[in-house]
Amino acid sequence: EAQVTQNPRYLITVTGKKLTVTCSQNMNHEYMSWYRQDPGLGLRQIYYSMNVEVTDKGDVPEGYKVSRKEKRNFPLILESPSPNQTSLYFCASSLIRGNSYEQYFGPGTRLTVT
Amino acid sequence: GDSVTQMEGPVTLSEEAFLTINCTYTATGYPSLFWYVQYPGEGLQLLLKATKADDKGSNKGFEATYRKETTSFHLEKGSVQVSDSAVYFCALSDRVGANAGNMLTFGGGTRLMVKP
């Protein structure tokens, strides 16, 4: 089954404790992206990757890191989490065709930083 | 920069009522336009899309027409069901200019609640 998986689905942590949220896709997509979803703000892009070893900042990259060492994986790293990073996080991937981008989303990771 | 504006929710309707969720956008060039739906506890799923002016996207009884003259992409359904209760996001993708490669820009989302 074609899918994007994220782990963990739920995470409660404390300020300053490094964490990683994993994302994996099995569709051989070049493009992968991380978003955060906050009430009234929709989804805002954190980082994206056009292919292996190619990453770039989105709209809200501060406090986050990413890596793309393999095509299928795109982990999101919070080196020193803070309470303002409490949010719902989504990973997405897409196969770029022509002028249309359909993104496939993972189920989300709900992060709480106390 | 690009932006998408949606009507604020929640929108509460009775089953079989007509639905309209407004969406307007600002973008350079000719963006592709999308509606994504998020059911409770799940990730977003593509509902429909349109890639050029006057195109109509449709799926599961939902429709939206790409109106370049009014920069709008309103979502409509003639008769909603309880199972349509979800959050709906309007989004655009702009391949030109400084945002090339930045893919999707989302609106704030509109929650729809359909009562039996």
- Of residues B91 and B2, more confidence is placed in B91
CA distance A40 to chain B (A): 5
pLDDT for the residue B102 = 47
* Residue-by-residue DSSP string for A73-96: B--EEESS--GGG-EEEEEEEE--
Residues of chain A with pLDDT under 50: none
Average pLDDT, chain B: 89
Mean pLDDT within B64-69:
96
**The pLDDT of residue B101 is above 50:** no
CA distance A36 to chain B (A): 11
CA distance B27 to B4: 9
| 3-state class (DSSP) for residue B63 | strand
CA distance A62 to B98: 20
Using a 10 angstrom Cβ sphere, with 0-12 exposed, 13-18 middle and 19 or more buried, the burial of residue B51 is middle
CA distance B55 to chain A (A): 13
Mean pLDDT within B26-45:
89
CB contact under 8 Å between A42 and B107, yes or no, is yes
CB contact under 8 Å between B102 and A101, yes or no, is no
Q: How many CB pairs under 8 A join A and B?
A: 63
Closest residue of chain A to B87, computed from CA coordinates:
A42
CA distance A18 to A38: 21
- B113 contact A CB<8A: no
pLDDT for the residue B36 = 94
